[in-house]
């Protein structure tokens, strides 16, 4: 084992194996601990549990809820009510979701238990990764960022969940345990300007280029964005290293002082970086070229991150892409125990002691030929963690120590198998991200598959799809779908874009959509091309609202709640095409 002073890999994996061998009993004990801890809270007392902690009583008394059901309770806490409303322990911090789905961040309670579970899952994930990809002690090139924070009416600090974690002492200790401290000083991670932090992440990574063991970020999108930026600024980074003087673009004193202390004139390193960059063909394999001792690229790469995999593989060259843990702002779910699997095949083994989990069975979507007017994702009664069936789809329901009880997470997953007695989940989509006009229900995954199929037509023109989103346009009669594309260049042939538009329309095979197109209750799909940089404007919009880059996900469906995003897209539209697909 490499871990003489750090993490004991085999011990961590052994403990996980024991934990997952009897998931039924672990789940029962986890629910008991949650209810014993919080049974006297206002919320649970009002539901008539009367001290009972068994799963049967819990399910009969406590209803399934969504965020809007507990929002008033969380708001009272944020406004200063210190009584035990949702948790017995006093709440000192509020976590904010990214806000990209609903147009505004959700308030959630943050607790030390969440920090503990985060560190637990970090250690387990690292242990499985390091068993497959052993690395010597070194550094990690991590594109991680904090977000703005503010104080609520009741005096609680509110910021993103990732920032709450990054600021904890447990996080700093765990990073030491797994012997992969960030190249960047904490002043860079917690810098108030994302652009200056990104520049310094890249610079620090180059300074420690021989010590970097892996490259990571919370989301694949952030890594792709970092290296798109690198393509534009690499010569300036070389100049900083050659002269040992930090660029004048870094104006924040704390960042400038911290990074300057790492710099000294190094013409040899600068020349080496310069020669490698000019020799690369279209930046293919830039990561292993500049960081020769990196073993893999790591981050969340499933779900809405899958569209960025093509570009990420281009930058990563022959380095493996390893999917990170599965969780949400509300809490963690599971970790990958098969890190060698490509992201598209990654599954996540649920940690049975990290929360109490239920799963709402979902009926599979019908084929286009089986048109029906009922909801194809109709609900059934939830089942327990070990009662799920391989091959079936479910919506996850979470109960945890952070004041969530039978909370519908909104994630749709498919059970791919079991690790011991705990299920391995494959993320499918967010349930509430739907393109819908009448009986049609196209999910984020449906949209993604259609975009992947249509974007293949761009390859012959040597064009890349930078990013995309969609909306259901009800301003026309009948309403129609609008797909927004940003391309790597603004000179795509019109006939190719028209073919892409037709392909998008044909590739959406949801029964309700196909039937509605046939009877003309939904109009032809529209493809709008937006100018370069449009999706960066959307990112900056959310950053201005207090979102963190490390939590940012491009909204795949822009609804009424995201009116400002819709306006950005419309203002930057440069071409529009309507489908000629025959129905």
In 510-551, at which residue ranges do the beta strands (DSSP E only) sit?
A: 526-530
> What interhelical angle do 9-21 and 23-38 show, nearest 10?
90
Nearest Cα to Cα of residue 434 among 557, 563, 311: 557
- The helix (H) or strand (E) run that includes residue 125 is helix 112-132
Residue 160: name the closest of 171, 170, 150 by CA. 150
Q: Which residues pair with residue 407 across a beta bridge?
A: 65, 398
Other C-beta atoms lying within 10 Å of the C-beta of residue 127: 23
Of residues 237, 175, 235, the one with CA closest to residue 202: 237
Q: Which pTM does this prediction carry?
A: 0.83
Greatest C-alpha distance within the chain: 72
Six-digit token pair at 33?
């601990």
HSE (side-chain half, CA atoms, 13 Å) at 221: 21
Q: What is the DSSP letter of 199?
A: H
Report CA torsion sign: 383, 388, 393, 397: positive
Q: Calculate the dihedral angle through the C-alpha atoms of 236, 241, 245, 247, rounding to the nearest 10 degrees.
A: 20
- State how far the Cα of 569 lies from the Cα of 188, in Å rounded to an integer: 31
Tally of CB atoms within 10 A around 248: 8
Q: What Å distances lie between residue 13 and 8, 129, 300, 416, 456, CA to CA?
A: 9, 11, 21, 21, 41
Q: Of the candidates 334, 344, 362, 361, which has an alpha carbon nearest to the alpha carbon of residue 418?
A: 334
- CA 368 to centroid of chain Cα atoms: 30
User: Could you tell me whether strands 348-350 and 422-430 are parallel, antiparallel, or unpaired per DSSP bridges?
Assistant: antiparallel
In whole angstroms, what is the distance from residue 28 CA to residue 407 CA? Answer: 17
Beta bridge partners of 468: 485
Neighbouring C-beta atoms of residue 121, cutoff 10 Å: 21
| Positions of the chain with pLDDT lower than 70, given as ranges | 1-7, 98-104, 170-180, 364-379, 432-433, 546-548, 550-551, 582-583
Are residues 395 and 410 in contact, defined by beta-carbon separation less than 8 angstroms? yes
In this structure, the dihedral spanned by the alpha carbons of residues 50, 116, 191 and 104, taken in order and rounded to 10 degrees, is -30
pLDDT tens for each residue of 400-454? 988 999 999 988 899 999 999 999 999 887 776 678 887 778 888 888 889 999 9
| pLDDT tens, residue by residue, 294-306 | 999 999 998 878 8
Which two tokens mark 508?
């959406």
pLDDT score of 378:
46
Cβ–Cβ under 8 Å, residues 383 and 96: no
C-beta separation of 309 from 321 below 8 A: yes
- Can you list the positions of beta strands (E) in 330-406? 331-335, 348-350, 356-362, 383-384, 393-399
| pLDDT at residue 372, as a whole number | 38
Q: Is the dihedral of CA 50, 52, 53, 56 positive or negative?
A: negative
């Amino acid at each position: 084992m490499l871990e003489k002073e750090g993490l004991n890999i085999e011990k961590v994996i052994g403990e996980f194996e024991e934990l997952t061998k009897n998931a039924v009993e672990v789940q029962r004990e986890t629910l008991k601990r949650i209810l014993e801890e919080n049974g006297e809270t206002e919320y649970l007392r009002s539901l008539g549990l009367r001290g009972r902690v068994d799963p049967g009583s819990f399910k009969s008394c406590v209803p399934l809820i969504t965020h809007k059901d507990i929002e008033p309770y969380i708001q009272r806490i944020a406004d200063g009510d210190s009584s035990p409303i949702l948790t017995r322990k006093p709440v000192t911090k509020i976590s904010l979701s990214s806000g990209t789905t609903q147009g505004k961040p959700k308030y959630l309670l943050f607790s030390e238990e969440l920090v503990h579970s985060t560190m637990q899952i970090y250690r387990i994930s690292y242990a499985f990764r390091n068993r497959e990809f052993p690395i010597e002690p070194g550094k990690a090139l991590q594109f991680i960022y904090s977000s703005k924070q503010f104080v609520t009416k009741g005096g609680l600090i509110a910021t993103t969940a990732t920032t709450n974690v990054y600021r904890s002492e447990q996080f700093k200790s765990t990073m030491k345990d797994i012997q992969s401290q960030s190249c960047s000083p904490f002043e860079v991670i917690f810098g108030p300007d994302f652009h200056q932090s990104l520049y310094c992440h890249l610079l620090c990574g180059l300074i420690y280029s021989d010590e970097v063991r892996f490259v990571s970020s919370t989301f694949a999108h952030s890594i792709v964005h970092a290296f798109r930026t690198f393509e534009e600024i690499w010569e300036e980074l070389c100049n900083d290293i050659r002269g040992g003087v930090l660029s004048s673009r870094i104006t924040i004193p704390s960042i400038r002082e911290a990074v300057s202390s790492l710099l000294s004139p190094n013409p040899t390193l600068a020349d080496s970086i310069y020669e490698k960059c000019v020799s690369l063909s279209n930046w293919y394999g830039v990561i292993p070229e500049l960081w020769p001792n990196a073993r893999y690229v790591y981050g969340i790469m499933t779900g809405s991150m899958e569209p960025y995999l093509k570009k990420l593989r281009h930058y990563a060259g022959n380095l493996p892409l390893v999917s990170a843990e599965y969780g949400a702002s509300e809490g963690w779910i599971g970790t990958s125990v098969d890190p060698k699997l490509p992201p598209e095949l990654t599954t996540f083994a649920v940690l049975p002691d990290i929360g109490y989990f239920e799963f709402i069975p979902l009926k599979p979507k019908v084929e286009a030929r089986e048109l029906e007017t009922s909801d194809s994702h109709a609900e059934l009664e939830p089942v327990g963690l070990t009662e799920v069936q391989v091959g079936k789809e479910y919506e996850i329901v979470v109960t945890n120590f952070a004041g969530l009880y039978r909370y519908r997470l909104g994630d749709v997953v498919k059970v791919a198998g079991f690790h011991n007695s705990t299920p391995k989940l494959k993320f499918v989509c967010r349930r509430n991200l739907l393109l819908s006009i009448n009986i049609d229900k196209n999910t984020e995954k449906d949209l993604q598959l259609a975009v992947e199929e249509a974007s293949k037509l761009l390859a012959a023109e040597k064009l890349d799809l930078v990013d995309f989103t969609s909306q259901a346009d009800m301003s026309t009669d009948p309403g129609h779908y609008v797909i927004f594309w940003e391309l790597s260049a603004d000179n795509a042939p019109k006939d190719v874009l028209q073919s892409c538009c037709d392909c998008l329309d044909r590739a959406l095979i949801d029964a309700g959509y196909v039937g509605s197109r046939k009877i003309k209750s939904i109009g032809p799909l529209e493809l709008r091309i937006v100018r370069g940089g449009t999706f960066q404007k959307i990112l900056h919009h959310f950053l201005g609202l207090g979102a963190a880059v490390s939590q940012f996900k491009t909204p795949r469906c822009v609804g009424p709640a995201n009116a400002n995003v819709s306006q950005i897209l419309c203002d930057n539209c440069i071409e529009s095409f309507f489908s000629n697909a025959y129905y």
